[in-house]
């Protein structure tokens, strides 16, 4: 056992309280809207923790498996974050997971760019409106990062990319895909200069996405699975659809994003 790891057998130990925080306890609404970085996020698993560290996120504390301490725990301890260890039952109670990860770690939420700042340095942007399922947001992030897209813009009603479930589904690729959040999405998108806007829709009157010739700078707009994109956004963009087998009108948001990221990828 490393001297830097503190073994605790009591799940009620006050040092474990921070790991019990729910999403709102980690970051409230005001903190999530703070571009300067406020509140915390929780990373699960050695890969996600490692990617958070590699991205420069500041660790606060970690909880590890006392029987198999991940190598990444040494890096956390090396930058001054306390590393606590417990057995399976202790970690299960604390984390609320039936199968607790060998490591979970708390980090300070990093600063993020504004929509204008992000758009200025990106060629391919995914824009989400009212995509409120964190698993969908995590999948969308993973798809976009894997297919070479370089930025994500979300309205304030979409799920948080740094939510626990989003990060778990995205396998930490959220740290490779910078994001911006806004309460004025339509106005911000309307203000993007020299960016082609494509709105994903099941509307049969829309152009097939595989017939589109995307330019150098593109933003793809994805809406809620229930109601799709708002009229405000649809009016700003060229509507495109994924050709579907008769009887099936659409894919879910994450799957549609994967197809869209491929068809509208940068080909230069």
Same-domain check for residues 51 and 171: no
> Whole-angstrom Cα distance, residue 69 to residue 53?
17
Same-domain check for residues 69 and 148: no
- Contact at 8 Å (CB) between 98 and 34? no
Same-domain check for residues 97 and 202: no
Q: Which of 90, 108, 126 is the last residue of a domain?
A: 108
Same-domain check for residues 140 and 259: yes
> Whole-angstrom Cα distance, residue 129 to residue 127?
7
> Whole-angstrom Cα distance, residue 232 to residue 197?
13
Q: Is residue 92 part of a domain?
A: yes
Same-domain check for residues 124 and 92: no
What is the pTM assigned to this prediction? 0.94
Q: What is the count of structural domains for the chain?
A: 2
Q: What is the CATH number of the domain that holds 247?
A: 3.40.1280.10
> Whole-angstrom Cα distance, residue 138 to residue 4?
33
Q: Is residue 98 part of a domain?
A: yes
> Whole-angstrom Cα distance, residue 83 to residue 76?
7
Same-domain check for residues 28 and 142: no
Q: What are the pLDDT digits (tens) for 92-116?
A: 888 887 778 899 999 999 999 999 9
Q: What is the CATH number of the domain that holds 35?
A: 3.30.1330.30
Q: Which of 73, 108, 143 is the last residue of a domain?
A: 108
Residues of the chain with confidence (pLDDT) below 50:
none
Query: Residue 232's domain spans which residues?
Result: 115-263
- Contact at 8 Å (CB) between 102 and 203? no
Q: What are the pLDDT digits (tens) for 39-86?
A: 999 999 999 999 999 999 999 999 999 999 999 999 999 999 999 999
Q: Is residue 268 part of a domain?
A: no
- Residues present in the chain in total: 268
Looking at residue 2, its pLDDT comes to 58
The three-state secondary structure class of 52 is helix
Q: Which of 108, 132, 149 is the last residue of a domain?
A: 108
Closest CA to 178 of 239, 260, 119: 119
């Amino acid at each position: 056992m490393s001297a830097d790891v503190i073994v605790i057998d009591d799940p009620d130990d006050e040092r474990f309280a921070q790991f019990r925080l729910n999403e709102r306890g980690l970051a409230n609404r005001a903190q999530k809207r703070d571009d300067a970085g406020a509140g915390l996020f929780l990373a699960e698993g050695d890969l996600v923790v490692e990617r958070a560290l590699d991205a420069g996120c500041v660790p606060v504390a970690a909880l590890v498996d006392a029987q198999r301490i991940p190598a990444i725990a040494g890096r956390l301890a090396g930058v001054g974050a306390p590393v606590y260890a417990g057995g399976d039952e202790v970690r299960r109670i604390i984390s609320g997971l039936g199968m607790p990860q060998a490591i979970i770690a708390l980090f300070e939420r990093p600063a993020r760019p504004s929509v204008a700042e992000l758009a200025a340095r990106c060629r391919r942007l995914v824009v989400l409106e009212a995509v409120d399922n964190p698993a969908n947001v995590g999948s969308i992030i993973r798809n976009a990062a894997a297919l070479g897209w370089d930025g994500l813009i979300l309205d304030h009603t979409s799920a948080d990319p740094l939510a626990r479930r989003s990060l778990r589904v995205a396998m930490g690729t959220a740290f490779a895909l910078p994001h911006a959040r806004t309460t004025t999405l339509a106005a911000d998108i309307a203000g993007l200069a020299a960016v082609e806007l494509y709105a994903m829709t099941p509307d049969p009157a829309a152009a097939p996405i595989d017939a589109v010739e995307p330019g150098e700078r593109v933003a793809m707009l994805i809406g809620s699975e229930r109601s799709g994109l708002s009229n405000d956004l649809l009016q700003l963009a060229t509507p495109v659809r994924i050709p579907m087998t008769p009887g099936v009108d659409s894919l879910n948001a994450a799957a549609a994003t994967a197809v869209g990221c491929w068809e509208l990828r940068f080909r230069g």
